[in-house]
């Protein structure tokens, strides 16, 4: 279905919420449709309906029906990881504050001699290098073991080492989900300077933050978590993450 038609293009899945994206001329309409299509192609169980408005050359409104996506489904088949550097260009201050936190430096704690006191307290060897241990990397890096995520770089490969830095630590996508689709939405928002609703990002795979974003790592499998400990999400959700600042273009 081409922009300019008065008919609906329907993706045959469930519907939950309606987000409206203002558009103007034909070129911008095509951009909006392309963003929606990318989200649909990358998703499983994602609901999107696109209403292409009046003929090109007149003001139009694209109505997008979205189903909120709460994270990666089993098998991690929907979206791929892109690295924290991709988020930095829109969220510079948040990224800068995050880089100073324990989460931002989580990979460094796995290296020999680092976090010595904490390792000794929990029965770990402070002299051992845990920075290549898969059981540690899944919670100290972004997307380890998943498509696009962190891989241990060859120290002699400078390009691989640089790339790995964007996936080091408990980064943006560790909590917000793999960003291959929603970073494209953010790019369009930044270029057009339009207002947006967070539901647009949920529709493109951004995760709604809840306790599961934390307990995937803060659980009995972690050597630093006492068995049977209940994670207090409300008390800890903003602890050691990043500075939370008003988002100027967010509507609501």
The 10s digit of each residue's pLDDT in 25-52 is 344 444 344 444 444 334 333 333 333 3
The 10s digit of each residue's pLDDT in 126-144 is 999 999 999 999 999 999 9
Look at residue 68 in the predicted model and tell me its pLDDT. Answer: 30
Around Cβ 218, how many Cβ atoms within 10 Å? 18
In which element (H, E) is residue 2 found? none
Q: Report CA torsion sign: 189, 99, 165, 130.
A: negative
- Total domains present in the chain: 2
Task: State the pairing for strand pair 8-10/49-51.
Answer: antiparallel
Instruction: Say whether both 102 and 144 belong to one domain.
Output: yes
Question: Which range of residues forms the domain containing residue 33?
Answer: 8-73+178-203
Instruction: Say whether both 116 and 131 belong to one domain.
Output: yes
Cα separation, 94 vs 96, whole angstroms: 5
Which residues share a beta bridge with 62? 21
The answer to whether 49 touches 65, Cβ cutoff 8 Å, is yes
The two tokens of residue 191 are 């270029």
- Residue-level length of the chain: 252
In a domain, 250, yes or no: no
The 10s digit of each residue's pLDDT in 58-98 is 333 333 323 233 335 434 448 999 999 999 988 999 999 99
Cα separation, 51 vs 60, whole angstroms: 10
CATH, residue 108 = 1.10.1130.10
In a domain, 244, yes or no: no
In a domain, 247, yes or no: no
């Amino acid at each position: 279905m081409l922009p300019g038609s008065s008919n609906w293009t329907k993706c045959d899945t469930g519907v939950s919420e309606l987000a409206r994206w203002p558009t103007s001329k034909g070129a911008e309409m095509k951009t909006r449709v392309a963003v929606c299509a990318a989200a649909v192609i990358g998703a499983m169980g994602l609901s999107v309906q696109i209403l292409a408005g009046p003929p090109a050359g007149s003001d139009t409104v694209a109505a997008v029906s979205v189903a909120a996506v709460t994270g990666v489904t089993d098998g991690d088949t929907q979206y791929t990881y892109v690295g924290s550097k991709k988020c930095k260009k829109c969220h510079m201050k948040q990224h800068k504050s995050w880089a100073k936190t324990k989460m931002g430096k989580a990979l460094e704690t796995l290296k020999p001699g680092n976090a010595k006191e904490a390792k000794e307290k929990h029965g770990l060897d402070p002299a051992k290098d845990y920075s290549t241990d898969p059981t540690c990397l899944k919670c100290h890096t972004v997307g380890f073991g998943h498509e696009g995520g962190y891989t241990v770089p060859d120290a002699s490969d400078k390009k691989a080492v640089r790339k790995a830095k964007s996936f080091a630590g408990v980064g943006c996508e560790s909590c917000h989900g793999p960003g291959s689709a929603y970073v494209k939405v953010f790019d369009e928002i930044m270029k057009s300077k339009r207002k947006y609703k967070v539901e647009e990002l949920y529709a493109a795979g951004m995760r709604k933050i809840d306790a599961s974003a934390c307990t995937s790592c803060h659980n009995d499998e972690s050597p630093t978590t006492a068995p049977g400990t209940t994670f207090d999400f409300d008390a800890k959700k903003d602890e050691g993450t990043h500075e939370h600042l008003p988002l100027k273009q967010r509507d609501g």
